[in-house]
Chains A and B, each alone.
Chain A
Amino acid sequence: MDLDSAQLIQDLAEAEREREQLVQELRHALRGSERRFEAIVGSLTDAVTIRDREHRFLYANSAAIAHLGFDSWEQLRDTPPAQIMKDYLVWGEDGGVISMDDIPSVRILRGEQAEPLLIRSVHQDTGAERWNLLKAAPLLDEDGEVEATITIIEEVTERKRAELRDAFLAQASAALASSLDYEQTLRNVAQLAVPGIADWCAVDLLDEDGDRRTVAVAHVDPQRLSLAEALRGYVPEQLDPERGIGRVLHTGEAVFYAEIPDQMLVAAALDERHLELLRAVGFHSALIVPMRLGERILGAMTLVAAESGRALDKFDLELSEQVAARAAVAIENSRLYSARSSIARTLQQSLLPEQLPEITGYELASIYLPGVETSMVGGDFYDVWAVRDSWLIVIGDVTGKGIDAAALTALVRHTVRTASEFDASPSALLEFVDRTLKKRPVLSVCTAMCVRLQGDRATLAVGGHPLPLHVSTEGVRELGEHGPLLGAFADACWGEHEVHLQPGATLLAYTDGITDAQGQGGVRFGLGRLREAVAELADRPAAEVVDGLARRLAEFQTGAHSDDTAAIALRRAVAGSAGADRAQAHEVTRAGSAPAMTATKA
């Protein structure tokens, strides 16, 4: 035996003796009270340990012995400290791995202050998950040196889980409320559930035809997701309405499997491979809750506890039901919104003339660009119709959006058409609409510009609306005079203005969506640009005028327009042109709100 080895053995022996001495001294110090100490500490449900300077156990109560996975004090005492936690994977609250250096008692030995440490441990074999709060304090000798450390290990698994549940509920609710894209929010919710609430979370949706679709599957380890993929291949076309998700979707009631013994997997497996996959998941416990609105079942949410070994309990079931309820509402809201949008679009289309009529000797063209809020029915309207010897054109803007505005628009169009049977003069028409609006119980206002065409004579009246433009090769000028809004003021009256349209001259009526359109830096399109744009198109056919205007607007605009935009061009056909003999009607109506528009011919 060489000198070094001998020395080593000597040191070990010394250390052993010192340790024994320390234990004796502790015992001595606790002499008499030793029994009391044991009586108090020994039976605590919290684990209490005392360790020496080398971090070896001097004392452990029975709770600690059990907590650390030993059968007896002797076993624990004789195991080197480094060996003790080797069966566990340990993480901190933030998911970071915890090593021995982080343990409070070890930090105290290094001379540091050590705050309580919350750790999550998972046993590598059983997969059992636990949360513990470690609190340590130094035991000082007469010189104030740290002689030993005492640690209390508090089992907080239930408390921590409750916290995680509350957090999940709050986060999931926020996620569901954050966007109308419910498939994405459901995916986010599933992701939030793992691993805090369960090891797996999946969401299935039922569409109107009753077809089931899995929209989300989450596991904290993305590699495990391939297992889920493989298992999907085993889902039958027709789900068993008695079991599992089939049952939930059929009955609208939750199913809860607190424990999933192997026999259950065997019974569920369709073949060997299937059974292999099921076992590979490591099912421990599962629950499936319906996403339901009253009687209607929109889908289901599944939670599976697997490798963490935890058992889902009634709190998890309650939590899942709460989240599933919110999910159902989110899905419904989103679907309603889409439905409303399509209803609104349909309504909107019905508020415009189905087709522009043909006016002999004239070209007629229009553009209509709905505002960007697709659920809101816009307030702009226009109409063109014949009454006896006249053609009437009206364009206007019902203030407000939504279904109410749509109803108001319908009222105004109907009123003005009916009134024109009796008196087709534009100022009389505006007066009639004004009176009709004022009879309504709520404030109902609109702008309107009305033109009556008799031969080449155009008579117009303007109520709170931009003045129409007269466009010819001689220039661009505004026509008429401003009159008040309709439905707003007592003593309102409107004058009329007459103009004779020469061949090739265009009358352009528009709504403020055009002049209000915003471009770079928030600058508005404005009347100036509008005049410029139409001046360039002065001798072009009506269709080209509106298309050109639409293009100019698109080039100018940044972002989608929030307000409706409409314009209508009436051009007296030039003799000998294609339009002179037969009227041309051209309209451009764009559904949707794509800001980058390309002109399309009707």
Chain B
Amino acid sequence: MGVEDQLGITVRREADRVVIDLDGELDMASAPFLQSALDGAEIEPETMVVLDLQSLQFIDSTGLRAILSLRDQCRERAQQFAVTRGSPQVQRLLDITGVSEHLQTPTA
């Protein structure tokens, strides 16, 4: 199974935000694709970027780092960054590492 199959990335634009929807596994192999998706999304400053993890099944430390990196990049571009809750096993890691506590959750 190719890496492309392990992580599905969908970028959708909503009224006040751009949502990057992740499906599958975000780990060492697939994390670079997340970066490419952000690069390719061409999001204007002042737009909120929401990372939707609800369909994400697995994440490891590399995946976490990728999320934090996205946060930093949004900060540099004056974009708000928020992360939704993930599936139970993903949420577990987000809780353990303090990501869920320290990163914004999207409103509505």
Contacts and interface: CB of A to CB of B under 8 A. Distances in A.
Interface in B82-108: 89, 93, 95-99, 101-102
Contacts of A483: 98
B28 A485 contact: no
Contacts of A447: 61, 97
A484 B28 contact: no
B97 A464 contact: yes
A463 to B, nearest CB: 8
Interface in B62-79: 62, 64-65, 68-69, 72
Interface residues of B, number: 18
Contacts of A255: none
Contact of A464 (B60, B69, B98): B98
A400 B60 contact: no
Contacts of B98: 464, 482-485, 488-489, 492
Contact of A484 (B62, B65, B101): B101
A107 interface: no
Interface string A504-524: 000000001000100000001
A399 B62 contact: yes
A445 B72 CA distance: 13
Interface in A468-506: 482-485, 488-489, 491-492
Contacts, number: 58
| Chain B contact residues: helix, strand, loop or mixed | helix
Residue of B64, B68, B98 with highest tally of chain A CB at under 10 A? B98
Given A485-B99, A488-B102, A562-B28, A445 B62 contact: no
A563 interface: yes
A500 to B, nearest CB: 25
Interface in B26-71: 28, 60-62, 64-65, 68-69
B102 A492 contact: yes
A252 B22 CA distance: 54
Tell me the dominant secondary structure on chain A's binding face: loop
A483 to B, nearest CB: 7
A401 interface: yes
Contacts of B61: 379, 397, 399-400, 447, 512
Nearest to A397: B61
Contact of A482 (B65, B89, B95): B95
A516 B92 CA distance: 13
Contacts of B69: 443
A579 interface: no
Contact of B60 (A466, A488, A563): A563
A326 interface: no
Contacts of A379: 61
Contacts of B101: 484
B28 A488 contact: no
A107 B97 CA distance: 78
A399 B64 CA distance: 8
Contacts of A563: 28, 60
A464 B102 CA distance: 12
B60 A445 contact: no
A465 interface: yes
Contacts of B96: 464-466, 482
A443 B68 contact: yes
Contacts of A512: 60-61, 93
Interface string A425-456: 00000000000000000010101000000000
B102 A489 contact: yes
Nearest to B103: A489
A513 to B, nearest CB: 9
Residue picked from B61, B69, B99, B102, most chain A C-beta under 10 Å? B61
B99 to A, nearest CB: 7
Contacts of A491: 102
A465 B96 CA distance: 7
A397 B60 CA distance: 11
A9 B33 CA distance: 85
Nearest to A482: B96
Contacts of B89: 524
Given A443-B72, A484-B102, A563-B60, A400 B97 contact: no
A213 to B, nearest CB: 37
A54 B54 CA distance: 80
Contact of B62 (A400, A465, A524): A400
Nearest to A462: B96
- The 4 A-B pairs with the shortest beta carbon distances in the complex, nearest first, are A484-B98, A464-B97, A399-B61, A489-B102
15 contacts: A397-B61, A400-B61, A400-B62, A445-B68, A447-B97, A464-B97, A464-B98, A465-B96, A482-B96, A482-B97, A484-B97, A485-B97, A488-B97, A492-B98, A563-B28
Given A399-B65, A524-B89, 9 more contacts: A397-B61, A445-B64, A482-B98, A484-B97, A485-B99, A488-B68, A512-B61, A512-B93, A563-B28
